[in-house]
């Protein structure tokens, strides 16, 4: 685990956060600065810095981020109305925490294109 990775510390329980979903491979918790009525982050327990660091061995793990998102959307009551999943890659796209995470946003209309 990288010494200064915020999300690794959350996975390890060093920073207390309530998980809204957890499995053997991923956990999910509410974003500290929510951009929508529902704003949950789904992250792998394993440290992977960016999408650019993914390998074919991670394909099942990445799929599990999405199946977690689906379950969270149902639990949050936003599945039918619709929700957005976003994973930013590197600073130019707005990534600020370098441990991959899938944003799950819903509960309000979403605009397109994103900013």
What the block records as the tokens of 94 is 């707005």
- What's the closest the beta carbon of residue 46 comes to ligand AMP, in angstroms? 17
Residue in 79, 15, 69 with CA at minimum distance from that of residue 43: 69
61 token code pair: 């793990």
Closest approach of Cβ 100 to ligand AMP, in Å? Answer: 9
Binding flag, residue 88, ligand AMP (CB under 6 A): yes
- Does residue 31 belong to the site contacting ligand AMP (CB under 6 A)? yes
Annotation says 47 is catalytic: no
Q: Report cis status (omega within 30 of 0) of the bond before 99.
A: no
Contact 41, 103 (CB under 8 A): yes
The Cα–Cα gap between 87 and 70 comes to 15
Kindly state the smallest distance separating residue 6's Cβ from ligand AMP, in Å: 6
Q: Per CB under 6 A, which region of 53-61, 66-74, 93-101, 104-112 contacts ligand AMP?
A: 93-101
Give contact residues for ligand AMP (rule: CB under 6 A). 6, 17, 29, 31-33, 41, 88, 94-97
């Amino acid at each position: 685990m990288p010494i200064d990775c915020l999300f690794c510390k959350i996975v390890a329980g060093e920073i207390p956060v309530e998980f809204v979903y957890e499995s053997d491979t991923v956990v999910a918790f509410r974003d500290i600065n929510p951009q929508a009525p529902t704003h949950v982050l789904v992250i792998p327990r394993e440290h992977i810095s960016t999408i650019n660091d993914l390998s074919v061995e991670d394909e099942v793990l990445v799929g599990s981020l999405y199946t977690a998102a689906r379950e969270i959307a149902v639990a949050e009551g936003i599945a039918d109305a619709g929700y957005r999943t976003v994973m930013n890659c590197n600073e130019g796209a707005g990534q600020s925490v370098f441990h991959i995470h899938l944003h799950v946003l819903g509960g309000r209309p979403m605009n397109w294109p994103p900013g």
